[in-house]
Chains A and B, each alone.
Chain A
Amino acid sequence: MKNAIWPNLFQGWNRTESETVYTLKQVPVFKGFSKREFNELEQLVHHRSYAAEDYVFKNRAPGEGMYIIMKGTVKITIGTRSGNESVLAELTDGDFFGELALFDDEPRSANAIATTDSELIGFFTADLLSLQDRHPELANKILFNLGGILGERLRSTNHLLMEAQGVKDDG
């Protein structure tokens, strides 16, 4: 008969990383985090479930932070669902959105709607500020990474603008 003591005694020792940590690792905002830091982050983030067609947030609603898709799909739209809806992006597992709300108090600039039953991870300004109080090195990493992402977006926007204006890009 197989002895059950040893497997039970060492239960969890070879535990693989959680689904949350696995998802967070794919997000460039958390680039350079150690295993311990990801575990700290896991304690902080919020898990939210949305049914298909549920709003994650509405355009012009007060924005408090970013969402990361753990499972499911989300579309980013402007306009209303009654007719003039325009889809800006369709996002899936590992994608993130709403990160600008971490920096400013401006309202949301688009709708985010779950297109299938979705599981999202929320990371909000209150969490970032709490992290800054308790683990400032982690908060600094997040802010540095976010700065990099926004800088990259600004560069590509500049590039598109120059293309639209017919200016030759020497860079």
Chain B
Amino acid sequence: MDKNLPSDHFEVTVPKIEHQQSVLLIYRLLVGLVAAGFVWFIWPYVSNVLLIIVFAFLFTTVLLSSVDGLERKIHSRGISVLLITVTVLAGIGIFIGSFISQLSSQAADFSSRVDPTTLTAEFKSLGERFMAALPGFASNMVSSGGDFASTLSSFVNSVVENLAALAGAVTSFMLNAAMILIFTIILLAEYHSFRKTLVGYISNKYFEVALKLIFNIEKSVSSYLRGQFLSAASVAAMSVIGLLILNLTGANLTLIVFIGIIAGLANLIPLVGPFVGMVPAILIAFMNNLGSEVSVAHMLFGVVPSPFYIFDIILMFIVVQQIEGNLITPTLVGKSVGLHPMLVMIALIIGGTILGPLGMLFSVPATGVLKVIGQEIAFVRKNAHLL
């Protein structure tokens, strides 16, 4: 303390500082409330754009290393971006196109084999046989009013009614996808100069640490997303092998590969993904074996009734999930972002509400990104006294 100051200086200063701190706290609280109100007001107008930017950023992060690698070979950023984008789009296009054509030929085959007029009767007898095959306690648990045939018919009706809504959703999805594609191309082409411009606005005091923060975020996000895709690829490969070993679905090899890829992609959605991944395989097995007495009477391990090999398929997918979760992912991916299951569920609900299945697919990686950003900012705050 300064020797020239009066002795009561310290006593006067302390209440003054406390008063200043409480004023600052109230000021911050007010600013926070105003900011929250502003976000609440503008959110409906900007949410779509923000989500497009988030998705474009995620795609950029996944593809950036490929573009950088190609640029190293051909020494042209523009051509690298073009080649990678065209390859990815062609891959997606070929996959979706072939899948739809395979599925429609499968459906055509299905409808040619099954007489539409007797389909309801077939479903009814199938329902009865299924109930009879169930153990007593299980059949008691199924509501007697739940007529299998009428439930299926009403389901088909609701699907037809929802086709118009589906068309609207598809249009909106295509528009969003086109915007995400454009944003991704721009981000990929300009990524490094964009990052340089961004850090240019940061004050000298925080500049170096911000640069490191961005670098760490890029590294973590990139390895997290790459890990996710690696585990998806492993699930796809194992599902294909599993289905080939089972070879009970009656589907051809191309369709099995598609089912495997869908299972792999669905695996990217935590919690619900693995179940969603089983659906196409079960559906195809059902379509291919409808009317076959052998498949309806099939017993898994000769004990558990497994009509249309449904439980065989479920068991195979459970085995695949276990191998992926306990063996492949820990080896290939290592320590991932590690989100709490509760947080994963909240992220899934928010993503699903905003963007449907696509939102569910990307909400968890996006939450992972936010967690990495939060961790890095916490580290900077802890070490701020050194800056």
The majority secondary structure among interface residues of chain B is helix
Residue in B71, B215, B386 whose beta carbon sits within 8 Å of that of A129 in the complex: B215
With A and B bound together, what is the CA distance between A133 and B222 in angstroms? 14
> What 0/1 pattern do residues 1 to 39 of A give for CB contact below 8 A with B?
000000000000000000000000000000000000000
Q: A125 at interface (Cβ–Cβ under 8 A)?
A: yes
Q: B93 at interface (Cβ–Cβ under 8 A)?
A: no
Q: Kindly list chain B residues whose C-beta atoms are within 8 Å of the C-beta of A126.
A: 211-212, 214-215
Stretch at the interface among A41-49, A70-78, A86-94, A145-153: A41-49
Q: B129 at interface (Cβ–Cβ under 8 A)?
A: no
- Closest partner residue, chain A, to B199 (CB atom): A46
Chain B min CB distance to A136 (Å):
7
In A54-77, which residues have CB < 8 Å from any B CB? 54-58, 60-65
In B65-99, which residues have CB < 8 Å from any A CB? 65, 68-69, 71-72
Q: Kindly list chain A residues whose C-beta atoms are within 8 Å of the C-beta of B65.
A: 133
Is A62 in contact with B68, judged by CB distance below 8 angstroms? Answer: no
Is B215 in contact with A62, judged by CB distance below 8 angstroms? Answer: no
Number of residues in B with C-beta < 8 Å to the partner?
A: 22
Q: B383 at interface (Cβ–Cβ under 8 A)?
A: yes
Is B386 in contact with A56, judged by CB distance below 8 angstroms? Answer: no
Is B204 in contact with A48, judged by CB distance below 8 angstroms? Answer: yes
With A and B bound together, what is the CA distance between A148 and B265 in angstroms? 50
Q: Kindly list chain A residues whose C-beta atoms are within 8 Å of the C-beta of B214.
A: 126
Q: B28 at interface (Cβ–Cβ under 8 A)?
A: no
With A and B bound together, what is the CA distance between A129 and B209 in angstroms? 16
Is A64 in contact with B212, judged by CB distance below 8 angstroms? Answer: yes
Is B215 in contact with A125, judged by CB distance below 8 angstroms? Answer: yes
Q: Kindly list chain A residues whose C-beta atoms are within 8 Å of the C-beta of B71.
A: 134
Q: Beyond A57-B208, A126-B215, A133-B69, is A62–B196 a contact (Cβ under 8 Å)?
A: no
Is B72 in contact with A135, judged by CB distance below 8 angstroms? Answer: yes
With A and B bound together, what is the CA distance between A48 and B210 in angstroms? 14
Chain B min CB distance to A115 (Å):
15
Q: Kindly list chain B residues whose C-beta atoms are within 8 Å of the C-beta of A61.
A: 208, 386-387
Q: A50 at interface (Cβ–Cβ under 8 A)?
A: yes
Residue in A44, A60, A129, A133 whose beta carbon sits within 8 Å of that of B72 in the complex: A133
Residue in B69, B192, B205, B209 whose beta carbon sits within 8 Å of that of A44 in the complex: B192
Is B204 in contact with A124, judged by CB distance below 8 angstroms? Answer: no
Most A CB contacts (10 A, CB to CB) among B72, B192, B193, B208 go to: B208
- Pairs of residues from A and B, 6 with the lowest C-beta to C-beta distance, nearest first: A126-B215, A64-B208, A133-B68, A61-B386, A134-B68, A134-B71
Could you list which residues of chain B lie within 8 angstroms of chain A, going by C-beta atoms? 65, 68-69, 71-72, 192-193, 196, 199-200, 204-205, 207-209, 211-212, 214-215, 383, 386-387
A-B contact pairs, 12 of them (CB 8 A): A44-B192, A44-B196, A46-B199, A46-B207, A56-B204, A61-B386, A62-B208, A126-B211, A129-B215, A130-B68, A133-B65, A133-B68
Q: What would 7 more interface pairs be, CB under 8 Å, given A64-B212, A134-B68?
A: A43-B193, A43-B196, A48-B204, A48-B207, A50-B204, A65-B211, A125-B212
